[in-house]
Amino acid sequence: MLNLAKIIVDVPTMQTNEPYTYQIPDFLNEQLEKGMRVIVPFGNGSRKVQGIIWEINHDGKFDGKLKAIESVMDLEPVLNDELLLMSKWMANKTFSFQISCILTMLPSVMRAKYQKQLKLVDDIDDENVAKIFSKSKIVDFNPEEFNKDILRKILSLKKKNKIEIKYNVKNKAQSKKILGLKPNIFDNDIDKELSSLRSNAIKQKNILYYIRDYPNKIISQRKLCKKYDISESAVKTAVNKGWFKQFQMEAYRNPYKQPVKRNYPLKLNADQSNAVIQVGNSIDNNNSKVFLLEGVTGSGKTEVYLQAMQKALAMGKTALMLVPEIALTPQMANRVKGRFGDRVAMLHSGLSNGEKYDEWRRINNGEADVVVGARSAVFAPLKNIGLIIMDEEHDTSYKQDDTPRYHTRDVAKWRAKYYKCPVILGSATPSLESRARATKGVYSLIRLPHRINNQSLPDVKIIDMKNELINSGDEDFSSELLSAIRNRISKGEQTVLMLNRRGYSSFIMCRTCGFVLKCPNCDISLTLHMDTKTMKCHYCGHEEPIPYKCPNCHDKKIRYYGTGTQKVQKKLQKLIPNAQIIRMDVDTTRRKGSHERLLQEFGQGNADILLGTQMIAKGLDFPNVTLVGVLNADTSLDLPDFRSSEKTFELLTQVSGRAGRAEKEGLVYIQTFNPDNYAIQLSRQQDYEKFYRTEMNIRHITNYPPYYFTVKITASDINESKAAAKMFEISKILKAKLSDQTIMLGPSPSSILRIKNKYYYQIIIKYKNEPSLHACLEYILQHYQKDAQKGLYVNIDPNPLNFM
């Protein structure tokens, strides 16, 4: 009879991907609960790692030697039963380690920091090693900082017990502490103090009045000062006199910089109220249905979300709303915040790690029952969820592109099943996968085919740039678009211009010999960055100066190729000198909050034109925008990706939806070299249903999703032939097991062969029904352990976003 705990340790390997049993020491027996983080010894020596309690067993047996849990990191569990259970499912589904899943579910500050230290125990004769301890007997130890020789010496000294290696597990999760005040003087004593004060000691009197009014209230020092106009030194005097007890109290950081205006439910049209009723019924009946809400841009999907959430809250349940990347849609965030106020917690990339932790704690403590956030918010520790919403469900940012490669939609559906609540997947252009499921009856389709207030859809004109190039010689701006922009400026209306950068880079090419400057580590061309005056690699971050002559043929005719936002901005400014242009791309929005600031400036009418990349296509709602121009619609058509038409259609439909959202009518120009392409033609009418049918036909003929499921298997190694050999080995195993209806592509080198000096080879499997595939892939993973230690990595991506 022992007190035992099963722990998932933070050692992400296949061999340790199961709970390890530890003894619970008596001093922790009362404290420990399932879902808490602990520190446990692991392996030989004094190594310690973080772990999560998976199970507690008070009369357990275990044969074999046991180690004891060393300490606990939490006062409350950080994972509830639901999330613990989900981590297991997720690990299985995404072919990753359970500990990796657990750690992605938690705010990043809860990931322990491991730090090694060297401790000098005895005198040592080696000068070079002794130097390390010149300042102190205990020093931080990062093996990378030392050469092999010294490391060897350190190791041998350790064996002789002259040096100890200490392992520290540090908890980074730290709450913000502020000074708190607790009244420490009562009734008669207050009057006594009051009478002994000098008559001009007004501040001291006010403090005593305050204490008399709120004798038991704890207040932060800052709040007291601000509210009663008292200086810090006055408070200090009061503390010295013993009126207050001063102490450190926990506080939440406040991530909301500006106050949000309150808003109220709007009147719904027939389609919208039908949607709210259907979802509401499902909430009432504890029915975990998935609704696909297909609504044209401007059809009022957001109001449906808000009122459906209202229903869930009215039943005492919580609501989770997911958006692509909240920093991209501050307007949406403010709308939810304005409707539900302090009950809302926000989780997005714009917050600091500390702010994210605080928002997470507010949710975990039940202080927030509405959560709005991007991908990782799907793991928000809400209990009793009544509704999950996924806005823009087709958006690719919902899929994490490194391990664990989960799709937010799958996690959302899992949680909905657990809580028996509905999911709304909303979009103007649903993913083909989701739309096809609606056709099959797996999801319930709700359509919002009309814009609210019966606004007409914007008039979309397609401009053939082949003709334009012949006539005016300009490949960026057609004369029609230019005159439309000038016309808006003269009327005081605004224009949004989008430069489609997907699959497009401004690289440098020699016009004499055709040389293209590439990254020395990755097989990819370097991108020109005018702000830093350097060439950068977008994969590994390599940076070098802009060449002024060709490194290959030494000719000076080396120029940039392709169009960057900066170049377009310069050109446009020349063409229309009086235009006020705001440029929005990765470079101008890198700093925290700059995205919101630029949008706000544009919204206040401080500029005529908003010029940007795809980031301007989503969710913006500016009533004064009456013209939208897409400068190059087709760059994303040319990508070697079976989803390129779908992506192009989505992008054009979304950006067109930015025009004419109020009374004024909208006009959209789409410039393209492929004016007859169906994705471009159909986006003109915003005819999603027709696009869906056309594209499904093509997918059917070409054997692509949603007609097939896909899996991508990748092997990477510094040595190209090793990666290739591994993939051929895997393909042999697969060929033997898979049915003949399954299609296997490869093994082939990935389209970007080399990233960060590693070579990539891949296999794509396309299958319809392959019940043994999952087990087979697990088997492959089990058998690559030895390779992983040598730097040969095998990766499995179920339902990959692309085949590159």
Partner DNA sequence: AGCACGCCGACT
Partner DNA sequence: GTCGGCGTGCTC
> Which residues pair with residue 597 across a beta bridge?
none
Mention every residue, 6+ apart, whose C-beta is less than 8 A from residue 436: 696, 706
* Residue in the block written with tokens 């033609």: 681
In the complex, minimum distance from the CB of residue 585 to DNA, in angstroms, rounded to a whole number? 36
Q: Which is nearer to DNA, 7 or 579 (CB)?
A: 7
Annotated binding residue at 776?
no
Buried b (16+ CB within 10 A) or exposed e, 334-355: bbbbbbbeebbbbbbebbeebb
Report the distance separating Cα 744 and Cα 728, nearest Å: 12
In the complex, minimum distance from the CB of residue 55 to DNA, in angstroms, rounded to a whole number? 12
Report the distance separating Cα 85 and Cα 193, nearest Å: 59
Q: Which is nearer to DNA, 165 or 575 (CB)?
A: 165
In the complex, minimum distance from the CB of residue 793 to DNA, in angstroms, rounded to a whole number? 9
Q: Would you tell me how many other CB atoms lie within 10 Å of the CB of residue 381?
A: 21
Instruction: Give the footprint of DNA on this chain (CB under 7 A).
Output: 11-13, 15-16, 20-23, 41-45, 47, 62, 64-67, 114, 116, 148, 152, 156, 165, 786, 788-790
Q: Which is nearer to DNA, 154 or 509 (CB)?
A: 154
Q: DSSP character for 17?
A: -
In the complex, minimum distance from the CB of residue 165 to DNA, in angstroms, rounded to a whole number? 6
> Which residues pair with residue 401 across a beta bridge?
none
Q: Which is nearer to DNA, 223 or 790 (CB)?
A: 790
In the complex, minimum distance from the CB of residue 67 to DNA, in angstroms, rounded to a whole number? 4
Parallel, antiparallel or unpaired: strands 318-322 and 370-373 = parallel
Q: How large is the greatest C-alpha to C-alpha distance in the chain, in angstroms? A: 97
Report the distance separating Cα 153 and Cα 149, nearest Å: 6
Give the 3-state DSSP-derived string for 61-91, with helices as H, strands as E and coil as C: CCCCCCCECCEECCCCCCCCHHHHHHHHHHH
Q: Which is nearer to DNA, 143 or 771 (CB)?
A: 143
In the complex, minimum distance from the CB of residue 106 to DNA, in angstroms, rounded to a whole number? 19
In the complex, minimum distance from the CB of residue 115 to DNA, in angstroms, rounded to a whole number? 10
In the complex, minimum distance from the CB of residue 431 to DNA, in angstroms, rounded to a whole number? 33
Annotated binding residue at 513?
yes
Q: Give me the sheet containing 543-545, strands edge to edge.
A: 527-529, 534-536, 543-545
At residue 93, the 3 state secondary structure works out as helix
Q: Which amino acid is at 782?
A: Q
At residue 104, the 3 state secondary structure works out as helix
Q: DSSP character for 635?
A: G
Q: Which is nearer to DNA, 9 or 344 (CB)?
A: 9
Residues in the chain: 804
Strands (E), 276-342: 290-295, 318-322
Annotated binding residue at 540?
yes
Report the distance separating Cα 432 and Cα 657, nearest Å: 20
Q: Which is nearer to DNA, 127 or 663 (CB)?
A: 127
Report the distance separating Cα 327 and Cα 415, nearest Å: 25
Annotated binding residue at 225?
no
In the complex, minimum distance from the CB of residue 411 to DNA, in angstroms, rounded to a whole number? 24
Rounded (10°) angle between helices 221-228 and 202-213: 110
What are the C-alpha distances in Å from 577 to residues 124, 488, 489, 611?
A: 74, 14, 11, 15
Query: What is the CA angle 55-56-62, rounded to 5?
Result: 95
Q: Which is nearer to DNA, 156 or 782 (CB)?
A: 156
Q: Which is nearer to DNA, 156 or 685 (CB)?
A: 156
From the annotation, which residues make up the binding site for Zn(2+)?
A: 510, 513, 519, 522, 537, 540, 550, 553
Q: Which residues are annotated as part of the binding site?
A: 510, 513, 519, 522, 537, 540, 550, 553
